[in-house]
Amino acid sequence: MLWPKLVCFALVALAFGQLYQVASEESIAVCPTNFTQVADKCYLLDDRYMNFYESDRHCRSVNAGLLSIKNPIELKALNDWLPVVAPYQTEYWTSGNKLGQTRNDYFWQSTGEQALYLPWNDDQPTPASGDCLNFLAWVHLDPEGAYMGDHRLSVKNCSQWAIPICEAPLQYFKTQLCLNTTAFFEAKVPV
């Protein structure tokens, strides 16, 4: 008589265990608070002018790093996004610099990696201009008016001012289903 009840209990427990496993397979990616997702990164655009060092400290204070550009896809995503959120802003700091280098090798300070993809503006790099990289768009004038070109990298003196773009990775969570005797609860658990 006890045998059928045990089998029934085991089957119910197995069913609930399977339900939990299936629900926990879903994952989501979100940006930190106040950051905007652009492609597969999160960006925070400030509106204050700072030098390179102040910009770096500011981004670190929000658990991020200054902008780094790894490939043409990221460059295009930024050039599509920036005119929408800041249509008249021409210049931003990146984390790129050659501080402490005697050669013209640039590094992304936010990641420590050598900057291998360097989409330069025309007539760049000009090492005599400084040791830091900014993200600069030229304003073009023609008879029909003024328009801003795409942002590209330029060399700039680190003590001059520009606006920082802070960058953070997406935060990934798994959605897990928590069972209670009276209700179901859904929780986001960091991966």
For residue 178, pLDDT beyond 70: no
Residue of 116 and 7 predicted with greater confidence: 116
Q: Burial, 148: exposed, middle or buried (Cβ in 10 Å; 0-12, 13-18, 19+)? A: middle
Tell me the average pLDDT of the chain: 85
* pTM, two decimal places: 0.77
For residue 11, pLDDT beyond 50: no
Q: What is the pLDDT of residue 25?
A: 58
Q: What would the DSSP string read from start to end of 140-154?
A: EEETTEEEE---EEE
Q: What is the CATH number of the domain that holds 73?
A: 3.10.100.10
Asked, for residue 21, whether it belongs to a domain, the answer is no
| 144 phi/psi in degrees, rounded to 5 | -90, -5
Q: Burial, 33: exposed, middle or buried (Cβ in 10 Å; 0-12, 13-18, 19+)? A: exposed
For residue 186, pLDDT beyond 80: no
What the block records as the tokens of 96 is 């790129």
First to last CA, the chain: 45
For the segment 107-137, what is each residue's pLDDT rounded down to a tens digit? 999 999 999 999 999 999 988 899 999 999 9
- Within 13 Å, how many C-alpha atoms sit on residue 158's CB side? 15
- Could you tell me which residues are beta bridge partners of residue 59? none
Number of domains in the chain: 1
What the block records as the tokens of 13 is 């427990």
Residue of 141 and 94 predicted with greater confidence: 94
H runs (alpha helix) in 1-149? 2-23, 52-61, 72-85
Asked, for residue 40, whether it belongs to a domain, the answer is yes
* Average pLDDT value for residue range 147-151: 92
Asked, for residue 1, whether it belongs to a domain, the answer is no
Residues found in the chain: 191
Residue 162: give the domain boundaries. Answer: 34-171
* Average pLDDT value for residue range 158-187: 80
Using CA of residue 17, residue 19, residue 25, residue 28, what is the dihedral sign? Answer: negative
Asked, for residue 46, whether it belongs to a domain, the answer is yes
Asked, for residue 184, whether it belongs to a domain, the answer is no
Q: Among 15-19, 48-52, 168-172, 175-179, which is the least confidently predicted range?
A: 15-19
For residue 163, pLDDT beyond 70: yes
| 159 phi/psi in degrees, rounded to 5 | -90, -5
Cβ density class 149-178: b for 16+ within 10 Å, e for less: ebbbbbbbebeeebbbbbbbebeebeebbe
Which helix H or strand E contains 29, and what residues bound it?
Answer: strand 27-30
